[in-house]
Chain A
Amino acid sequence: AQTVTQSQPEMSVQEAETVTLSCTYDTSESDYYLFWYKQPPSRQMILVIRQEAYKQQNATENRFSVNFQKAAKSFSLKISDSQLGDAAMYFCAYRSVHAGNNRKLIWGLGTSLAVNP
């Protein structure tokens, strides 16, 4: 069974600086998708970025980018030029491509990010 591990329960960063949130996962599959979601205090879950395992190029969305290391099964999120609005809980998630797993998302426990002014 697949698992997702976020080893940093809490992180903090100074406004305008860069922070990296780590995520590792365990799978025997070769094809899958990875996601980062953000959950601000408003509680809403918001997709930040996604990565297809078959793509070697790291995904980027504005100030958010990932470092995807398939062999190491690592999927870290880098937030550049951190803003106060980035303060939130960040969840890493894995999704199988195989219909037998019904393509459910497997979630990490989250990292709480504080942004200091």
Chain B
Amino acid sequence: NAGVTQTPKFQVLKTGQSMTLQCAQDMNHNSMYWYRQDPGMGLRLIYYSASEGTTDKGEVPNGYNVSRLNKREFSLRLESAAPSQTSVYFCASSFTASNQPQHFGDGTRLSIL
């Protein structure tokens, strides 16, 4: 029972490098989300996909792109990494209905030097 799987768990990049964070869920959820978590800032939504084939910006989309590859997979890409993007990234998924909770992956700790 995998739930939400994120890869990799840790990554160190140099400024300017590109990187794709992968996320897959096996719960047949319609909606998927990417968050970043920084100390004292809580969880901030980067992008989300309400359903397969759609993506929308969240609070902090600059510097990121996403792809909803199919119902299961939602990837986050950093085209040119910057030190300000050092963070812990979480992928989450849920059914569309409002009373359904989001299920989270274990997070990716990303450091950009």
Contact = CB atoms under 8 A, between A and B. Distances in A.
Contact of B102 (A42, A52, A105, A109): A105
B74 interface: no
Interface residues of B, number: 25
Interface string A100-115: 0011110111100000
Interface string B92-105: 10001111011110
B88 interface: yes
A96 to B, nearest CB: 7
A104 B44 CA distance: 11
B73 interface: no
Nearest to B101: A47
Interface of A: 32-33, 35, 42-47, 50, 52, 91, 95-97, 102-105, 107-110
